Amino acid sequence: MLRVEGYDVIDLASGFDLLQALQTSMEEQSAKVDLVICDAHLSGKTGLNVFSMLGNATGVPPVVFTTSGSDMTVFDEAHRLGAVAVLEKPVDIDELLGTVHRVVFDQEA
């Protein structure tokens, strides 16, 4: 769906893959990641763990977390880590597209 809207998308299988991709992106400006959309509960390392490990490092992209429940602990932790949004699954497509558009175009301004 994001590809159909014209966005470049990289699919990753685990929190370890996400951490590696983000570290590479942060080191190489040519591989810039504009936005990360990830589940709060990835396999290996959770999305929350990955962003907690990155902390306030320079170049950490904005993140939108998805979660399958309304656990306020996840929402609170995600916002503490600087998430631009936390979307509950099943994710509303219009809400996701609006969030992606807002974040990506706000960065370009």
- The residues, any chain, with a CB within 8 Å of residue 1's CB and separated by 6 or more, are 93, 97
Which pair of tokens denotes residue 16? 């370890």
Contact 52, 81 (CB under 8 A): yes
> 15-108 — its CATH code?
3.40.50.2300
**For 35-49, what is the mean pLDDT?**
88
**For 39-56, what is the mean pLDDT?**
86
**For 5-31, what is the mean pLDDT?**
86
Q: What is the pLDDT of residues 57-100, one digit of tens each?
A: 888 899 999 998 777 888 999 999 999 999 999 999 999 999 99
pLDDT at 108: 67
Model confidence band, residue 55 (pLDDT cutoffs 50, 70, 90):
confident
Q: E strands within 7-84? A: 36-39, 63-67
Q: For the chain, which residues make up each domain, given as ranges?
A: 15-108
